[in-house]
């Protein structure tokens, strides 16, 4: 929402508040006047002493009038609050939001989610209203709602699968690579994910972002997909105006914002952005456990520091990524085995030619700040995800032997 529209919304909200305040102010003045007139009828009390506490006090009749008047004001205020909440009498210029309702959510859970997204103010009122109205058959999925909607409008939208937009979203997960991105988003028909991939790796698009200016051309030129690893975790809901280029730009913009927040750490790391993201992508592909991320990072750093003895990182996910490249090359009728193998850390020295997936912020931070260890090897239990570390090859081989049966 731009500043001009926001001003209009604020003005309308101020009008709403002013109306309610004026209503209650006039109502209270009216009640006080009636009490004052009642007081004046009593010959024993002077009119200028009406409504005040003192030695003369109020008669029981006047106390009852005041109590009833106060009670009536409270009831009126509460009723107006409830009615406005349900029927949106004074809700102006609302904000549109996409709200996701998980599968199996109860009415009370949905009410809580709506409250968290500022669609409603009082979950218990919504739950009660929904139950008594007999419209409790609310759906799960993603829905476009507005903060100015009445309960009936909200319920009508949540009750119909036609309003579910969860099938029109484009998602990027941590650990997702470019190949998986296409497959993950292939179910929706509004945008061809392969076209988004092309736009992401189009130099005209990515070169305008700050993070891309921090990457050397020599690093980009050796990559199969230049923007592999630079697609931050995000979800975008598509509409008729969405294009592959607009989605690509949104993804790159999100990445730019994420990396901007890490700029100081990156600059003080002693590594290039390309090295950090490439390292982080291996860490992400190996584990999603944040504690293990820093230990696995230490293994990569230790082997790189002792590159004469440990020329190759020998990380399994890099081999799998190289195989994906070869498979893709065969599809498009272009095959460069050296380029594919430059990603395989069993066949090439040091880091792979580029990132192998999109790392999380946690993985990037682990790449920058590894744990101080003497580990040079690690292996994992495929079933439990538990990682075992070793300082020597003998220790590593013992770990592999122990895991041999477990990983069958």
pTM higher than 0.85 for the full model?
no
Mean pLDDT, rounded, of the chain: 84
DSSP helix/strand/coil, 191: coil
SS (H, E, C) 297-311: HHHHHHHHHCCCCCC
The tokens for 134 are 């007999």
Label residue 64 by pLDDT band (50, 70, 90).
Answer: confident
Is 38 a domain residue? yes
Split into its structural domains, the chain has a count of 3
Q: How far apart are CA 220 and CA 242, in angstroms?
A: 28
Is 301 a domain residue? yes
pLDDT in tens, 370-388: 999 999 999 998 888 899 9
- 18 and 100 belong to one structural domain: no
Is 215 a domain residue? no
Average pLDDT over residues 34-46: 51
- 132 and 83 belong to one structural domain: no
Is 275 a domain residue? yes
Is 133 a domain residue? yes
User: Which is nearest to 335 in space by CA: 348, 322, 316, 320?
Assistant: 322
Is 248 a domain residue? no
More confident residue, 32 or 167: 167
Is 19 a domain residue? yes
pLDDT in tens, 118-166: 999 889 889 888 888 776 688 888 888 988 888 888 988 998 877 777 7
Helix (H) or strand (E) holding 114: helix 107-116
Residue 351 CB partners (closer than 8 Å, separation 6+) = 275, 278, 279, 282, 304, 313, 345
Domain boundary among 140, 164, 188: 164
- 81 and 101 belong to one structural domain: no
Domain boundary among 64, 87, 110: 87
Lowest mean pLDDT among 54-63, 101-110, 150-159: 54-63
Q: How far apart are CA 130 and CA 291, in angstroms?
A: 44
pLDDT at 233 > cutoff 60 = yes
More confident residue, 59 or 256: 256
- 67 and 151 belong to one structural domain: no
More confident residue, 64 or 402: 402
- 322 and 366 belong to one structural domain: yes
Give residue 286's pLDDT. Answer: 94
- 77 and 109 belong to one structural domain: no
For residue 159, give its domain range.
96-164
More confident residue, 137 or 307: 307
Q: How far apart are CA 370 and CA 263, in angstroms?
A: 17
Four-residue CA torsion sign, 99, 105, 109, 110: positive
Give residue 31's pLDDT. Answer: 52
Question: Please, which contacts does 204-209 make with residues 24 or more away whose CB atoms are closer than 8 Å?
Answer: 205/245, 205/248, 205/249, 205/252, 206/230, 206/252, 209/252, 209/253, 209/255, 209/256
- 300 and 381 belong to one structural domain: yes
Give residue 43's pLDDT. Answer: 45
Domain boundary among 146, 164, 182: 164
- 402 and 280 belong to one structural domain: yes
Label residue 237 by pLDDT band (50, 70, 90).
Answer: confident
Label residue 18 by pLDDT band (50, 70, 90).
Answer: low
DSSP helix/strand/coil, 5: helix
């Amino acid at each position: 929402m731009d500043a001009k529209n926001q001003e209009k919304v604020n003005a309308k909200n101020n009008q709403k508040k002013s109306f309610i305040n004026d209503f209650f102010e006039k109502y209270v003045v009216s009640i006080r006047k009636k009490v004052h007139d009642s007081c004046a009828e009593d010959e024993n009390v002077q009119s200028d002493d009406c409504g005040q506490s003192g030695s003369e006090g109020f008669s029981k009749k006047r106390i009852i009038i005041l109590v009833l008047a106060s009670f009536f004001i409270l009831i009126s205020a509460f009723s107006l609050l409830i009615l406005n909440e349900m029927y949106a009498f004074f809700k102006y210029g609302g904000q549109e939001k996409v709200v996701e309702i998980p599968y199996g959510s109860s009415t009370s859970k949905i009410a809580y989610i709506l409250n968290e997204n500022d669609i409603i103010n009082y979950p218990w009122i919504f739950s009660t209203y929904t139950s008594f109205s007999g419209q409790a058959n609310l759906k799960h999925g993603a829905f476009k709602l507005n903060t100015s909607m009445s309960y009936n409008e909200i319920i009508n939208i949540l009750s119909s699968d036609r309003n579910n937009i969860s099938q029109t979203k484009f998602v990027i997960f941590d650990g997702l690579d470019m190949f998986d991105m296409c497959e993950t988003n292939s179910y929706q028909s509004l945008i061809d994910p392969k076209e988004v991939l092309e736009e992401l790796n189009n130099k005209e698009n990515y070169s305008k972002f700050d993070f891309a200016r921090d990457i050397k051309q020599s690093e980009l030129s050796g990559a199969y997909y230049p923007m592999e690893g630079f697609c931050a975790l995000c979800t975008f809901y598509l509409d008729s105006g969405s294009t592959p280029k607009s989605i690509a730009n949104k993804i790159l913009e999100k990445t730019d914002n994420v990396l901007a927040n890490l700029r100081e750490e990156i600059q003080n790391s002693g590594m290039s952005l390309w090295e950090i993201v490439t390292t982080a992508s291996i860490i992400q592909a190996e584990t999603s456990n944040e504690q293990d991320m820093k230990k696995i990072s230490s293994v990569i750093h230790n082997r790189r520091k002792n590159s004469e003895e440990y020329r190759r990182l020998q990380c399994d996910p890099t081999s799998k990524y190289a195989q994906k490249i070869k498979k893709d090359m065969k599809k498009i009728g272009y095959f460069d085995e050296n380029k594919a193998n430059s990603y395989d850390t069993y066949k090439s020295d040091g880091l792979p030619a580029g990132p192998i997936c999109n790392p999380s912020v946690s993985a990037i931070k682990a790449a920058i700040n590894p744990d101080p260890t003497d580990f040079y090897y690690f292996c994992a239990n495929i079933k439990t995800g538990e990682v075992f570390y070793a300082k020597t090859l003998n220790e590593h081989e013992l770990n592999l032997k122990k895991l041999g049966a477990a990983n069958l």
